[in-house]
Amino acid sequence: MFPLKDENPTRRRPVLTYALIVVNVAIFVGALVTGTFNQVNQEFGMKPKEVLAGQNIHTLFTSMFLHGGILHILFNMWYLWIFGDNIEDVLGRGKFILFYLGAGIVASLVHAFSDPGSMIPTIGASGAIAGVLGAYVLLYPWARVLTAVLFFYIIHLVMIPAVVMIGFWFVLQVISASVLWAAGATAGVAYWAHIGGFLAGMLLILPVWVKLRKRRRARHEGALTFEIR
């Protein structure tokens, strides 16, 4: 399943979401054009063994803005484009950037603890974007998402609830991480970072979810209150 767009309008222009996309693309293109692609990823990618030893802590931040290839950045930025605007809308710009970076840092730490001896640089915004997905599915589980679904080698376009589309994605991450862990193998995808970022996003957005539920309940109760004269 691949999301194409959601039916979930925002009240204001998601400036920070756009800015994050521009910055990520600019860094990716800049590294390619200057011929420093591998050097940048090696230097600023997050190496679990170093970070857990208290070295190069800044890479928890810098690794979020690096990508390993065109498909890598394309998929990440597409998901951010579709789902990031609503989270920025509900949090406001200042809180949204803190949320985004916080989820990304937690995702990197979860990955580091899952493979503490690794010196392979981990790069990508997927941990932070997984946090956005976690927040989205908690706040807007029934928002309709136009999704491309491959069925018997034919692509079908269907509208499905966000909880189904994002839930399917999350289950795939859990299954993939579990299979690799059971086999004692490693992969080129940081599945534990995705899981950690997703759960961090749900946890970080939880106070907002509680506040919105209370507000909706108060409006509902107010609508049912009337006076007989």
Q: Is residue 229 part of a domain?
A: no
| Buried/exposed code over 176-211 (b: 16+ C-beta within 10 A; e: otherwise) | bbeebeeeeeeeeebbbbbbbbbbbbbbbbeebeee
Q: Is residue 168 part of a domain?
A: yes
| Buried/exposed code over 104-124 (b: 16+ C-beta within 10 A; e: otherwise) | bbbbbbbbbebbeebeebbbb
Q: Please identify which of the residues 63, 108, 114, 126 carries the catalytic annotation.
A: 126
Q: Is residue 43 part of a domain?
A: yes
Output the pTM of the full model: 0.90
Residue 126 annotated among the catalytic residues of the structure? yes
pLDDT tens series, the chain, 229 aa: 888 999 999 999 999 999 999 999 999 999 999 999 999 999 999 999 999 999 999 999 999 999 999 999 999 999 999 999 999 999 998 999 999 999 999 999 999 998 899 999 999 999 999 999 999 999 999 999 999 988 778 888 999 999 999 999 999 999 988 888 777 666 678 889 999 999 999 999 999 999 988 887 777 666 555 444 4
Residue 178 annotated among the catalytic residues of the structure? no
Give pLDDT, residue 152: 79
Q: Is residue 228 part of a domain?
A: no
Residue with tokens 């839930």: 167
Q: Is residue 184 part of a domain?
A: yes
Domain holding 166: CATH number? 1.20.1540.10
Range of the domain at 167: 2-221
Q: Is residue 49 part of a domain?
A: yes
Give pLDDT, residue 221: 65
Q: Please identify which of the residues 72, 114, 194, 220 carries the catalytic annotation.
A: 194
Count of structural domains within the chain = 1
